Structure formats: structure tokens, C-alpha cells
Homo-oligomer: A and B are copies of this chain.
């Protein structure tokens, strides 16, 4: 549609998730109208994130140091590990302020159709973390999707011989949700997981 540098930027932005051709065009013209230094600070942020951000040696979280701030925090419960698919999931769990243990990032979920098996995930690293320290519980907090459930089942079986409690996040009605609009699988899980009051 456009030519040269403008179309190149439209193409590059359109490759990002959730940004269609129209949004990419809108963003491009927004950036064209911006002052040089505002675009430069976006460029600097892009460069910095690739240069500085690493993977935590212990848990696989994103970090700018060798070991992330959660793993290196002595106030965190050293006995519990919460297993998540992605580093973003850690922030979601941290916001709850319910969990005070440490994390382990798998880097995805088992998905044979996309060629992702246990070996592509950080499952071996999880196993070795468990073998050499006083960890008593592993909470499997993979997504409640087919892939997430398969991953949780795989890890639960793998850890069964070890002396650790393995638990899974509860499935059920989201708080503030409406029974009438809940899908049947969620409502079925909510029934199965009912608790005495």
C-alpha cells in the first residue's frame, strides 16, 4: 500500500500479536508525527530489554540479574514451588498476594501438535530443584486448557515417586461470575470441587 520505510514499519508492527494491518498503519503514522526523541526512547527500551533481560538460573523467570528477585528473597517460603507456563503468569499470581513461595517457569505447555514435548520445557530443571532441597509442595498452576492440563498430569506422574505433595489450582466459577453464563465444563468442575461450608 505504502512505499519504502513507511510500509516496512507497517509490516514490522503488523507482525506483532494483536496488531492488524489497520492498527499497524495507525501506529506508524502516530510514530511519524512523534518527536524524534520520543521514538528514540521506544527504540532504547527495545534495545535495553533484549540486552538486559535474562532468564533466572533457578526458576526461569525474567530477570536482569543472575537470580531473580523472588528466588533471591529470603523471606519467600523455600518449601513450596508454584509451576507456571510463562513468566507473565508469575505477575498474575503475585497480584493475588496469596502465594508466598517460589516459582518455576516451564516455558510453555506440552503440545504435541506444535511439536512441544516434555524435553522442550524446563521440566528436568524442576525435577533437579526438587531432588536437592527441602521442598514439600509443588503447586501446578498451568493454564486450565487441554495443553495445560496435560502438562500438569505429566508432571504430577513424574513427581509421584518423590516425597512432595503435588497440588493443582482449583477449577470452578470465577468470582463475580454468573452461574447462568458459566460453560458446562467449568460448572461441572465447580460441582466436583464443591466444599463443605
Contacts and interface: CB of A to CB of B under 8 A. Distances in A.
Interface string A1-32: 11111101101110011110001011111111
A16 B62 CA distance: 24
Contact of A9 (B3, B32, B48, B86): B48
Interface in A89-125: 91
A46 interface: yes
B30 A17 contact: yes
A36 interface: yes
A170 interface: no
Contacts of A46: 9, 12, 31, 39, 42-43, 46
Interface string A147-188: 000000000000000000000000000000000000000000
B16 A30 contact: yes
A39 B13 CA distance: 11
A49 interface: yes
B42 A12 contact: yes
Interface residues of A, number: 45
Interface string A110-149: 0000000000000000000000000000000000000000
Among A30, A47, A49, max chain B CB count under 10 A is at A49
Given A8-B49, A16-B31, A19-B27, 9 more contacts: A4-B64, A5-B64, A6-B53, A16-B27, A16-B30, A18-B26, A31-B46, A43-B43, A43-B46
27 contacts: A2-B62, A2-B91, A3-B69, A4-B53, A4-B64, A5-B45, A5-B52, A5-B53, A6-B53, A8-B49, A9-B45, A12-B42, A13-B42, A16-B30, A16-B31, A18-B26, A18-B27, A26-B88, A29-B62, A29-B86, A29-B88, A31-B49, A31-B50, A32-B49, A32-B50, A32-B53, A39-B46
